[in-house]
Structure 1
Amino acid sequence: MATIKIVTWSRADKDGNYPIGFKISNNGKPTYIFEGHTLPSRDLWDAKKQQIKNTRAVPNAARLTNYLTKRLSELRDKAIQLQTDQTVTHVTEIKYAYKQAHEPIPEPIHSYFNTVADQYLEEQKACGNREAYLSDRGRLNRFYEFAKNEKLTFPDVTVDFLRRYQIFLKQVRKQGKDITIPGKPLSEHTIVNHLMIVRTIYNRAITAKLASKDDYPFGGEGKISIKKPESSKIGLDETEIQNLESVDLSELPPIYNDARNIWLTEYMFAGMRVTDCLLLKWTDFQNGRLYYQMSKNGEHGSVKVPAKAISIIEQYKRYATDKEFNKHSLIFPYLMDLPTLDDRFQLRRRVAFTVSRLNKAMKKIMEMIGSTKNASQHKARHSFAQRAEIMEIHPKVLQKMYRHESILTTMKYQSTFSHDKIDAAMDAVIGN
């Protein structure tokens, strides 16, 4: 027959109090049930009388004694019932049966969507992810505009709700400069981004146990499936790049020459991203090679410095010795006056402003060389990838140059620029 009694634990908890609960013994094997009640000292419990000795030392002492006595009686009744029915052979089964009978019914989850979303935005801001913070804040505001509910819970975000949200997004028009002219509808890519931030917030809530997986509206059959559409990636061809190198910009403000130089530097260093280019330092160049850490994923690497790149960089030698203005030993002048490069949010803000100016300059330069192509700073990466595909550079080599973690990423990226085999197939079927 199992024996059950009220006991105090021999070791104090982190607050210096001693847990008090129940010890169940059967055939010399004990187990314990503690429900969060404690005493300031083990000596305050009278094991023989099963009550608290000094009621002044324990708040609500009489109530706690009554509670423990009642629970002790219930435990003993449960043990007798189980053993009479011969369904129990171990003390843990008594403990489990007792706890199951007294398990509180969980209250429904009422965490609000905007509470989790606000925390996400604050984290993005704190981490300096300015672009993600601003773009996702705008997408969430549009989601709230549709929901028309400040206290939207996660169970409210159903499959039907999101399908109606998709229709809403397809009817939204971008706001142009002239508010009298209807703007263009949102692109499929933009609509997908709006759905992705909702999914991100929902996943965070599930991880934090603030939402149930059972209510999750994304995924398989009958739910909302999110697939990013392939975006068009068109780079400059060899002739356009040569024209870009040779066009005379001497009569234009310095930013035009800087825009051209920064674009070409990105192109010559395997499609370097513009943020990394603006952060280039003189110390990054050693023994004819460029060594730098990619800001997007932290990957390190090095590439050979082409002669054309050296001639571009030499144009900025005058900044190398100006320690007062160029506090950070940068090559290009657009971030030199920042107090620190460690404030990621302010850094990204300045980069975004600078890129906007550079892209406007590049648009005019492209008009000067007779091209209608978009030559934004990121197109330098596309141009390199397009040229590498034509030259049939091995994907493994490109993976290292791009700093991709997976070769599959490189192959998928390069496939966008692979046209020769398709063109050959068309010629074979239709003719030139």
Structure 2
Amino acid sequence: MSYNISIRLDKRRKKETGMYPVKLRVYSKASRKEKWYGLDIDLLEKDYTSIWLNPKNKNLRGSNNELRLKLQSIENRANDVAKSIEIFDFTKFEFRLFRKTSDKNNVQYHFNLAIEKNIKDKKINTAESFKYTLNSLINFSEKIKKCPVEKLRFQEITIDWLKDYERYMLDEGKSYTTVSIYTRTLRVIFNNAIEVNDLNSEHYPFGKNKYQIPRTKKVKKALTSIQLKMLFEARPMSFNEEKSKDFWFFSFACNGINPKDIALLKYSDIKEDKFTYYRAKTFDKTAEKTKIIIYLTDFTKDIIQKYGNKDREGFVFDIISKHDDIIEQHKKIKNFTRYVNDHIKRIAIANDLPKDISFYYARHSFATNSLRKGASMEFISEALNHSDLSVTKNYFAGFEDEAKKEFANSIMDF
């Protein structure tokens, strides 16, 4: 046993009442460290000796006997928690000890853990993804299964339960893509619970001969060369439309840079005729951090000159502030993205261009038009900061129908 657990009287601090705090003492043999956990119980030394240190005392009655049983229950539970940890660790011990017994199998509890962890790790988008999934599961569980979410246990989410959830989502007008995203997020929660030994893998409902998460091929949205020219030459009807068009083409001209990376761009990233940055979306997903190099053109220089902060310090564009915390930054970047998407759509509609155009189109338009202009797959892979060439090939697996038609029509142009 790599630990010792005991109920002790903490005589380091005597209270005005003459009592001492009763605490749970945990000692780790591996680290040679001890921790004392308060139990909100105070006793005189003689009462502690009578109630706890004298197990043969059969004269305990009433509240004293109840207190002994309570202390014994605390010590037993602490030992059970410690035994459940393969290699004793104070963090894991505290995580399991200081929660309700029912939390172990509670789906909502584990979702909230994931949300809190991602917020702490500054992964706000991921935290929101867990929130959206949890809200969807709450609606299904309470509306269809008549089970309050606080009582929803992992064991109740079976293969049939998931099939019912999928049908419910489709009946509600959700796409298979949404079903896939939400069920994959739920699968992460199952994996998290199994990893910390809160759930036995026999209750895992995903995988071969179990529930199969729908797989969908995402069509890459991109403008053709003609459409790009039309959009570029389109006359904005307001300052908001002009600004949105400028930032959309800034993204396109900078290898499809994401809105978040535009917002995080600093003047210190710009050196002579180029700027460098780390792609925020993939930064935490890879051990090797690769800087992306973007060479500035007359157009991109003009956009920086037109919208850049005039003091030429800190962030290039006035989207976020150095005084913003991570939550405020996330909020402002979402507002900026929505602002550009809303106004670029108005230009598109007025010029008979795809009505669902967004920042998303800029990245794919850069990729597909680079390919049309003869760029190699290796060049595009590097420009998009993909982890390897297979990712880039999969990226073009969803080439939109118009591009396929264009290729078919041009194949005989020798």
Structure 1 residue 423, shift from structure 2 partner = 4.1
Tell me: CA distance 1:420–1:243, structure 2 relative to 1, closer, same or farther (3 Å). Answer: closer
Distance 1:140 1:281, change over 3 A: same
Aligned pair partner of 1:350 in 312, 316, 332 = 332
**Structure 2 partner of 1:169:** 169
The answer to which structure has the higher helix fraction is: 2
Alpha-carbon deviation of 1:372? 3.3
Q: Does 1:366 align with 2:348?
A: yes
Shift of 1:219: 0.4
Give 1:239-258 correspondences, 5 Å limit.
239-249=226-236, 252-258=237-243
Q: Does 1:386 align with 2:373?
A: no
For structure 2, list consecutive stretches of 5 or more residues without a partner in the other structure.
9-25, 28-47, 57-100, 284-289
**Who is 2:276 aligned against?**
291
Tell me which residue corresponds to 1:315.
306
For residues 428 and 320 of structure 1, the distance between their equivalents in structure 2, rounded to whole angstroms, comes to 48
Q: Can you list the C-alpha shifts for 1:58-107, whole angstroms capped at 9, x where unaligned?
A: 9866759xxxxxxxxxxxxxxxxxxxxxxxxxxxxxxxxxxxxxxxxxx9
Instruction: Give the length in aligned residue pairs.
Output: 320
Residue 378 of structure 1 aligns to a residue whose secondary structure is: helix
Superposed, 1:195-206 pairs within 5 Å as 195-206=183-194
What is the one-letter code of the residue matched to 2:357?
A: A
Report the TM-score when normalising by structure 2. Answer: 0.68
Give 1:169 deviation, angstroms: 1.6
Inter-partner Cα distance in structure 2 for 1:296 and 1:421: 27
The answer on whether the counterparts of 1:218 and 1:224 sit within 8 Å (CA) in structure 2 is yes
The corresponding residue for 2:263 is 278
Aligned pairs for 1:129-208 (under 5 A) are 129-148=123-142, 149-150=147-148, 151-172=151-172, 185-208=173-196
What amino acid does structure 1 have at the position aligned with 2:370? A
Q: Alpha carbons of 1:316 and 1:194: their partners in 2 closer, same or farther (altered >3 Å)? A: closer
SS of match in other structure, 2:207: coil
1:288 Cα deviation (Å)? 1.0
Q: Cα–Cα, structure 1 residues 379 and 428, in superposed 2: closer, same or farther, change >3 Å?
A: closer
User: Structure 1 pair 111/394, CA: closer, same or farther in 2 (3 Å)?
Assistant: same
Q: Relative to structure 1, is the Cα distance of residues 62 and 285 closer, same or farther in structure 2, using a 3 angstrom cutoff?
A: closer
Alignment of 1:109-148 (within 5 A): 111-148=105-142
| Alpha-carbon displacement from aligned partner over 1:245-292 (angstroms, at most 9, x marks no partner) | 33333xx44222221111111111111111111222233221211211
Distance 2:217 2:384 in 1: 19
- RMSD over aligned Cα, in angstroms? 3.6
Q: Which residue of 2 aligns with 1:403?
A: 385
Q: Secondary structure at the match of 2:280?
A: coil
Partner of 2:197: 209
Amino acid of the residue matched to residue 310 of structure 2?
A: A
Summarize the Cα distance change of 1:202–1:309 in structure 2 as closer, same or farther, 3 Å threshold. same
Consecutive unaligned residues in structure 1, runs of 5 or more: 1-8, 18-35, 38-55, 65-106, 173-184
Structure 1's 142 and 316: CA in aligned 2 closer, same or farther, altered over 3 A? Answer: closer
Q: Distance in 2 between matches of 1:109 and 1:289?
A: 52
Deviation (angstroms), 1:130: 3.3
285-294 or 369-378, larger mean C-alpha shift: 369-378
- Residue 329 (structure 1) shift: 3.1
- Which residue in 1 is equivalent to 2:296? 305
Aligned to 2:36: none
Secondary structure, aligned partner of 2:359? coil
Percent of counterpart pairs with the same letter?
A: 18
Q: Please list, as runs of the form range in 1=range in 2, the aligned pairs for 1:76-115 lying within 5 A after superposition.
A: 111-115=105-109
Aligned counterparts of 2:177 and 2:250: Cα–Cα separation in 1: 29
Q: Residue 145 of structure 1: CA displacement? A: 2.6
Deviations 1:325-370 (A, max 9, x none): xxx53333232xx3525x2221111111121111111012223433
**Residues of 1 paired with 2:3 and 2:114: CA distance?**
38
* Matched-pair contact (CA < 8 Å) for 1:146–1:165: yes
CA separation of 1:189 and 1:419: change in aligned 2, threshold 3 A: closer
Equivalents in 1 of 2:259, 2:306: separation in Å?
18
Task: Describe how 1:47-86 pairs up with structure 2 within 5 A.
Answer: 63=55
CA distance in 2 between partners of 1:277 and 1:235 (Å):
20
Q: Deviations over 1:167-226 (max 9, x none)?
A: 222222xxxxxxxxxxxx1111111122122211111100111111111100002x0111
Once the two structures are TM-superposed, the CA of residue 136 in structure 1 deviates from its matched residue by 2.8
Verify: 1:417 aligned to 2:399, yes or no.
Answer: yes
2-structure distance, mates of 1:346, 1:108: 34
Paired amino acid for 1:275: K
1:24 corresponding residue in structure 2: none
Q: Does 1:226 align with 2:208?
A: no
2: distance between equivalents of 1:239 and 1:422? Answer: 15
Check conservation: 2:220, 2:400, Cα contact below 8 A: no
Instruction: Please tell me whether the aligned partners of residues 112 and 154 of structure 1 are also in contact (alpha carbons under 8 angstroms).
Output: yes
1:267 and 1:63, CA in 2 relative to 1: closer, same or farther beyond 3 A?
Answer: same
Distance in 2, matches of 1:374 and 1:109, equals: 43
Judge which range, 111-120 or 137-146, deviates more: 137-146
